[in-house]
Amino acid sequence: MERISWNQYFMAQSHLLALRSTCTRLTVGATVVRDKRIIAGGYNGSIAGGVHCIDEGCYVIDNHCIRTVHAEMNALLQCAKFGVPTEGSDIYVTHYPCVQCCKALIQAGIKTVYYAKDYKNHPYAIELFKQAGVKTEQVPFNGLTISSLEE
């Protein structure tokens, strides 16, 4: 039996996290990894204890749901909350990060962003990653379904 690659393993974790998302517009998961160890994970959803999109709908302004905290931000904030350093870490995200998450990832010291799907890849985010020396790499993902987890 052949094992999956590290990239596939961590991307699968991000897809699993995305299954916890409470946003109805897009489900996203993110896994922060250092030295081949998972140090944090996040998914897009409302603040802890808050109203969720799945309960009351998305709160959309300028075509963006402002009710949700993005998966990348939730993962970074989990590190901050528990005092886990992110400098030199990698992140695996189900979708290409938005500009705001891009800036946060750079400031947190993330060195590589692995993503499964292109999603409105903003030219400024691409430029900022290049400027900061943050590597981006698409990791194709074959898929994860609940039925495959039950087998």
pLDDT per residue as tens digits for the range 104-126: 999 999 999 999 999 999 999 99
Of residues 82, 133, 144, the one with CA closest to residue 110 = 133
Q: Using one digit for the tens of pLDDT, what is the confidence trace for 65-101?
A: 899 999 999 999 999 999 999 999 999 999 999 999 9
Extended strands (E) in 23-147: 29-34, 37-43, 60-61, 64-65, 90-95, 112-117, 135-138
Q: Is the pLDDT of residue 144 over 70?
A: no
Assess whether 127 carries a catalytic annotation: no
Active-site entry in 56, 72, 127, 150: 72
- Tell me the helices (H) and strands (E) count for the chain, helix number first: 6, 7
Average pLDDT of the chain is: 93
Going by pLDDT thresholds of 50, 70 and 90, the confidence category of residue 64 is confident
Going by pLDDT thresholds of 50, 70 and 90, the confidence category of residue 9 is very high
With 0-12 CB in 10 A as exposed, 13-18 as middle and 19+ as buried, what is 121? middle
Give per-residue burial for 11-28: e unless 16+ CB within 10 Å, then b: bbbbbbbbeebbbebbbb
Q: Is the pLDDT of residue 53 over 70?
A: yes
